[in-house]
Amino acid sequence: MAKYYVNNNAQSNGDHEVHKDGCIYLPFVKSKKYLGDYLSCQSAVIEAKKTYSKSNGCYTCSNACHTT
């Protein structure tokens, strides 16, 4: 299982990226929300969408959940 976070700051397209702990693009402490420990990014994105409906996996660390 891995720890997942969502970026509180939206990207220019409105998406809030979901990152796995250790990702080089994981934002600083104040700019992220801890989602929990999950076996896959799919579960983490579902959890993130409860807060930010436009959530998306990070291209680098959660590529299986990345959708443009």
* Summary count for the chain: helices (H), strands (E): 1, 4
Chain length of the chain: 68
Dump pLDDT digits (tens) for 29-57. 789 999 999 999 999 999 999 999 999 99
Share of the chain above pLDDT 70, in %: 99
Across the range 2-9, mean pLDDT stands at 96
* pTM above threshold 0.85: yes
Domain count, the chain: 1
* Alpha helices in 1-68, H assignment, sequence order: 41-48
Kindly tell me the burial class for residue 22, based on how many C-beta atoms sit within 10 Å of its own C-beta (0-12, 13-18, 19 or more): exposed
Task: Look at residue 4 and give its three-state secondary structure.
Answer: strand
pLDDT at 28: 81
Residue 68 has pLDDT above 80, yes or no: no
pLDDT, average across residues 12-27: 93
Q: How far apart, in whole angstroms, are the C-alpha atoms of residue 29 and residue 62? A: 19
Q: Which range marks the domain in which residue 43 is found?
A: 2-65
